[in-house]
Amino acid sequence: MTPVAIIFDFDGVIADSEARANLSLAESLTEIGMPTTYDESLRDYYGHNWQETQRRIEARFGRPLPADFRERHRERARARFMEGFDAVPGASAFLRTLGPMPRAIASSSRAEYIGWALGLFGLGHHFGGHVYSADGWDRGKPFPDIYLAAAKGLGVDPAQCLAIEDSPTGARAAIAAGMTVIGFCGAGHIVDRAAHGAMLRQVGVHHVALSFDEIALPLFSA
């Protein structure tokens, strides 16, 4: 099946953000007496929207987060992003190859942050109004809701969409939506790309790409 549209996850697919985001979260949690390492943050919270992340944190530590935690954490993360935040290598060039093919973003992150980052990268024109955020939703990834919303927004049958996802959580969401899924391993937080690709294959992705150079139209119809 050759796809009619492409739906991208954002963090770890378009934005090379997961290392900075998870370093910041580990530091923010440790600061308030919930000791967390970078590896633990990546293992336990990667790919989820904030609502699910908060649920997981509070279940792990057995107490609620402070009321101002999210805002204070945003300030920490924003400062780290400004140190050299950029798009995933190859993302801009890949988007330029798509021509008029409809595309969207389906992300667990805040819409305001996604818009800011797209502007920083000079990539906002590729998506127009088709940026869909599951932040604030009770059912974020791995439920399919955000992918189904993106397909509906594009006016395309989910079964005719290709999804590009880097996290197991996100991959499960796109698979549950009935999409063809490429497990993407090209962002900076993925140290062992072969092992990460193998993990995504176990989740059920249809293809694995170690970089954007490995995503080409012939692959879409394989």
Which positions are catalytic? Answer: 9, 11
**CA dihedral of residues 221, 176, 7, 132 (deg, nearest 10):** 170
CB 13 within 8 A of CB 205: no
Residue with tokens 């059920």: 204
d(CA 125, CA 113): 16
Look at the block and give the residue holding tokens 């300030």. 75
d(CA 116, CA 139): 24
Strand pairing of 180-184 and 161-165?
Answer: parallel
